[in-house]
Amino acid sequence: MTLKEIVTITTPPILIRLAKRLHGKGLMGAYGLFLSGDYQSWDAAMSASTGYDSEEILDKTKTRLLKVKNGEAAYERDSVLVNKVQYSWPLLASLMWVATQNKGKLNVLDFGGSLGSTYYQNRAFLQNLPDVRWNIVEQPQHVVVGKQLFEDECLRFYLRIEDCLAETTPNVIVLSSVLQYLESPYEWLAKLSGLPCCHLIIDRTPFWRGQKDRLCVQNVPASIYSARYPCWIFSMERFRAHFNEKWRIVEEFDSLDDISSPVKTVWQGMTLERIRNGAEG
């Protein structure tokens, strides 16, 4: 069975649309997040922001994710606790698809994976695989907390990509809700897609049909944590063009996020496979 068939069976589009409707504006939009502005430079957007690396964000994420780790809560996303896991079924199907191609081995490089939100989201399914390793590359303060409170035989934390590769060889890269918050997302995408991994999964990323990327500021209400930080809305055409030569887009899918934006925005993901020897396969 191909990945497209798996994703179609597990996540028919009507269920995605229904989930968005039930959650108001989507998984995070329902909590009052919104994007604003049209900034001409990263510095301009930063001047209108408070930053993403505050102690408040880390402390709330740590406290709430510990509840998930210890079985006191079902799910955490962006420091918000909910009483039922909100799965990204296409992402999970893609992870399992990668594992089937590697004799049950799943070795993930989760770039910008916080303290393990995506790992804990899918832990109930991952624990049935014979060999799982989940490696997170994050900001220094996250790595310190991660190593102290969350690291175990499956979940590891690293300050640099090179530190991770010195210890293990991931077979899939996960970029979930991270590229849009980087100053130079395409430079990071080029670096990550150049690593010796055959699969790449992108999820929870905002796109629009414009010809150029649009730089906004994401506004987070005090009910979550009071913050403002730069956020890109990617041109779908420009974004896809970065994969024309070396990667094949196996499947594209909708994400549950649907944050209010100044332009018509879709939150999507995609699963990609490296093109080997200049041909698809």
Give pLDDT, residue 281: 41
Q: Return d(Cα 137, Cα 252) in angstroms, integer.
A: 25
The beta strands (E) that lie in 130-225 are given as: 131-137, 155-158, 172-176, 199-208, 214-220
pLDDT digits (tens, 9 = 90+) for 164-210: 999 999 999 999 999 999 999 999 999 999 999 999 999 999 999 99
Distance CA 132, CA 146 (A): 18
Q: Do the beta carbons of residue 79 and residue 58 sit within 8 Å? A: no
- Cα dihedral across residues 237, 238, 239, 241: positive or negative: positive
Whether this prediction's pTM lies above 0.85 is answered by yes
Confidence (pLDDT) at 1: 54
pLDDT at 130: 96
Domain covering 3-255+267-274 in this structure, CATH number: 3.40.50.150
Q: Is 76 helix (H, G, I), strand (E, B) or coil?
A: strand
Q: Where are the domains of the chain?
A: 3-255+267-274
Percent residues over pLDDT 90 in the chain:
70
Q: Please name the residues in contact with 125: beta carbons below 8 A apart, sequence gap of 6 or more.
A: 92, 96
| Residues 24-45: tens digit of each pLDDT | 344 444 457 899 999 999 999 9
Candidates 183, 201, 206, 207; CA nearest to 33 is 206
For residue 158, the model assigns a pLDDT of 98
